[in-house]
Amino acid sequence: MTGRRSTPEEDIGRHAQRLQRARDNPGTSPLRGLGAFGIIGWSVAVPTVAGAFLGMWLDHTLRQAFPWTIALILGGVTLGGFIAWAWVSKERQNDSDDGGSDDDHS
């Protein structure tokens, strides 16, 4: 404890600098993960439900030997899976571009 004491002005200046750094680099929100689950869920659910409704309509209008509903539900799940995969890949790329990933920093 042989160092000189800081003045109140220096303390206020350091505090202001810390606050400014926090405002400039807010970091990721804890709710971001929850939002990601929501986006991924909706990107799978909407094509699946759309496929189910389109399949039911086709089953009533076009009489076929196979059920359209099942085929279009599976198509909707597949399409939703691709949409979710593309969104997650894009977000991962954005995180690595912004330096948000701490995996490669020592």
Give the model's pLDDT for residue 103: 45
Give the model's pLDDT for residue 105: 42
Domain assignment present for 84: yes
Answer yes or no: pTM beyond 0.75. no
Written as six digits, the tokens of 29 are 């929100």
Domain assignment present for 15: no
Least confident of 22-26, 60-64, 71-75, 81-85: 22-26
């920093």: which residue's tokens? 105
Domain assignment present for 83: yes
Domain assignment present for 47: yes
**Helices (H), strands (E): how many in the chain?**
3, 0
Domain count, the chain: 1
Domain assignment present for 88: yes
What b/e readout covers 4-38, taking b as 16+ CB neighbours within 10 angstroms?
Answer: eeeeeeeeeeeeeeeeeeeeeeeeeeeeeeeeeee
**Domain interval for residue 84:** 36-97
Rounded Cα distance between 87 and 60, Å, is 35
